[in-house]
Amino acid sequence: MGDLLSGFADALTPGNLLWAFVGVTIGTAVGVLPGIGPALTVALLLPVTFRLEPAAALIMFAGIYYGGMYGGSTTSILLNTPGESASVATALEGNKMARAGRGAAALATAALGSFVAGTIGTIALSAAAPLVADIAVNFGPPEYVALMAVAFVTVSALLGPSLLKGAAGLVIGATIGLVGIDTQTGQTRLSFGLPSLFDGIDVVIVVVALFALGETFAHLIAGTGASRVEPLRGQPMLSREDFRRSWPAWLRGTALGFPIGSLPAGGADVPTFLSYSIEKRLSKRPEQFGRGAIEGVAGPEAANNAAAAGVLVPLLTIGLPTSATAAVILTAFQSYGLQPGPQLFSESGDLVWALIASLYIGNVLLLVLNLPLAKVWVRLLGIPAYGIYAGVLVFACLGAFAAGGTIADLIVLTVLGLLGLLMREAGVPVAPAVVGLILAPLAEQQLRRALALSEGDWSTLVSSPLTVALWILVVLALVAPPLLSWRRRRVSQTLEETSTTH
């Protein structure tokens, strides 16, 4: 505790606060741009921090990191163009809310949810990082296979109204995920001899193509280029009702995001999908999902930012970079003189505590910046669609080019954009495609790894208590929803009966 306080003392100078504010602002500003996800945001902005002394650099970095993680939600909500996979779930309900004129409420619940989740995540990071890391390292390939099974059975809520069309989206995404070199054997799959496809298609490019380009193309052929959305007037940003529905979702999202983010192969996207599904299952008004349910924004957005804190657990305690973003952060820590790994706290304790204090401060500043900004962002919708989507196109191309550095990436972007348009026209939801793209390759890799390590013995999949527990969850997830809806029907029947007797 005393360590943390001295960390705050290091971080809380007026000069450092200024750097934190600058970090949050540019992190959010760059993170907002569709196509420029958190990994690229952090990678691009890191050199800016190198010119500062370590404490100031760390605090600015914390602002950039949380700002970049948060920024994606704004365009998801307002324009239905998530800049990265972890914002896809936010777009589902958030954009429906924005179209109904409730964009400010969606942005506000996202900002507050990010703050709550980021703060709880940071507390968990400072209090329990070594403990969480001990559990996380027990996750080997068989455990991941079981976790992926849990994810697959729970994300059905994302599939939308038509099961066939939802499944079509899922399979299309999974097929895109096959493209590239197979990690186990080094052979290329579905690359047709094109070197640009050897490393697979970047998730950011797929997300931007399916959502942002698909949206642009849809406006183009519908001829709705001059339309704009009118925000509702004279309403509080977040009504009491909104708040009552949001806060449990924030907490549930955090509870999913932090632990899954802490897993070496967890990432920030899986918990957002799970959170969306759980909110839909638990909601008293499931019929609102698909037309702008605020829980569907609050939960995933909290999960996203809690995972952002969770990612730092394996990074700091075992020196394991678990994602592209984490690999970039690792480089950053090393250049600030932090050597992540088991001896981090004993060797560079002061800097670690300054970092953790910075994360708290970055989080507060993010809220201070974004809550008032929600009203300003909504005005962005006052720009006619032709201006917005021409700009989206410019940034999408910039992001695609920056991610891969080749012209071929732009061609891939265009082709996938056309696929996105066709899916949209056919009523096939694009969110499941992103789920398939992320989960399927992970599940395949881990399953094959598990079987290679056990020399083909399938019983390895239930070889530890952890795997058994996860498989029980899978069974529960399959059995519980029908039971729940049956009980709900019973309850509402009894309610109706009692009300008629009165």
Which residues inside 121-140 make contact with other proteins, applying CB under 8 A?
137-140
Q: Could you give the CA distance from residue 89 to residue 94 in angstroms, rounded to a whole number? A: 9
For other proteins, the closer of residues 371 and 448 by Cβ is 448
Reading the block at residue 34, the tokens are 């569709």
| Piece of 54-62, 268-276, 299-307, 388-396 that binds other proteins (CB under 8 A) | 388-396
CB of 467 to other proteins, least distance (A): 11
Residue 37 falls in which region: left (phi positive, over 0), alpha (psi -120 to 50) or beta? beta
Residues 265, 279, 81: CA angle, nearest 5 degrees: 70
Q: Could you give the CA distance from residue 131 to residue 133 in angstroms, rounded to a whole number? A: 5
For other proteins, the closer of residues 118 and 173 by Cβ is 173
Contact 364, 112 (CB under 8 A): no
Q: Does 45 bind other proteins (CB under 8 A)?
A: yes
CB of 277 to other proteins, least distance (A): 14
CB of 75 to other proteins, least distance (A): 16
Indicate which single residue of 198, 472, 480, 490 sits in contact with other proteins (rule: CB under 8 A): 198
Which residues, other chains included, contact 203 with Cβ-Cβ below 8 Å and sequence gap of 6+? 84, 85, 434, 437, 438
Q: Which of 196, 178, 96 is nearest to 431 (CA)?
A: 96
Q: Does 492 bind other proteins (CB under 8 A)?
A: no
Identify residues 24-43 at the interface with other proteins (CB under 8 A): 39, 43
E-strand stretches of 95-209: 180-181, 188-189
Contact 358, 59 (CB under 8 A): yes
Q: Does 165 bind other proteins (CB under 8 A)?
A: yes
Indicate which single residue of 2, 14, 234, 456 sits in contact with other proteins (rule: CB under 8 A): 456
For other proteins, the closer of residues 31 and 264 by Cβ is 264
For other proteins, the closer of residues 2 and 456 by Cβ is 456
Indicate which single residue of 98, 355, 393, 435 sits in contact with other proteins (rule: CB under 8 A): 393
Q: Does 482 bind other proteins (CB under 8 A)?
A: no
Q: Could you give the CA distance from residue 369 to residue 466 in angstroms, rounded to a whole number? A: 41
CB of 341 to other proteins, least distance (A): 3
Q: Could you give the CA distance from residue 175 to residue 173 in angstroms, rounded to a whole number? A: 5
Helices marked H in 454-464 = none
At residue 41, φ and ψ (nearest 5 deg) are: -55, -50
Indicate which single residue of 12, 345, 449, 462 sits in contact with other proteins (rule: CB under 8 A): 449
Long-range CB pairs of 331-334 (<8 Å, 24+ gap) are 331/46, 332/42, 332/46, 332/49, 332/61
Identify residues 412-441 at the interface with other proteins (CB under 8 A): 413-414, 417-418, 421-423, 425-428, 440
Q: Does 99 bind other proteins (CB under 8 A)?
A: no
For other proteins, the closer of residues 5 and 394 by Cβ is 394
Q: Does 235 bind other proteins (CB under 8 A)?
A: no
Identify residues 320-349 at the interface with other proteins (CB under 8 A): 320-322, 324, 327-328, 330-331, 334, 339-343
Which residues, other chains included, contact 339 with Cβ-Cβ below 8 Å and sequence gap of 6+? 319, 333, 347, 348
Q: Does 184 bind other proteins (CB under 8 A)?
A: yes
Q: Could you give the CA distance from residue 125 to residue 119 in angstroms, rounded to a whole number? A: 10
User: How many residues bind to other proteins according to rule CB under 8 A?
Assistant: 120
Residue type, 500: T
Largest CA distance in the chain: 75
For other proteins, the closer of residues 5 and 376 by Cβ is 376
Q: Does 181 bind other proteins (CB under 8 A)?
A: yes
Q: Which of 273, 375, 323, 305 is nearest to 122 (CA)?
A: 305
The residue whose two tokens read 């239905």 is 80
Q: Does 60 bind other proteins (CB under 8 A)?
A: no
CB of 41 to other proteins, least distance (A): 10
For other proteins, the closer of residues 428 and 438 by Cβ is 428
Q: Fill in the per-residue mask, 344 to 383: x = in contact with other proteins (CB under 8 A), - = not in contact.
A: -----------------------------------x--xx
For other proteins, the closer of residues 47 and 372 by Cβ is 47
Indicate which single residue of 22, 52, 410, 462 sits in contact with other proteins (rule: CB under 8 A): 410
CA 426 to each of CA 179, 420, 462: distance values in angstroms, whole numbers, following the listed order: 24, 10, 40
| Piece of 270-278, 296-304, 451-459, 488-496 that binds other proteins (CB under 8 A) | 451-459
For other proteins, the closer of residues 111 and 174 by Cβ is 174
Reading the block at residue 71, the tokens are 């920024």
Q: Could you give the CA distance from residue 433 to residue 411 in angstroms, rounded to a whole number? A: 19
Q: What is the DSSP letter of 460?
A: G
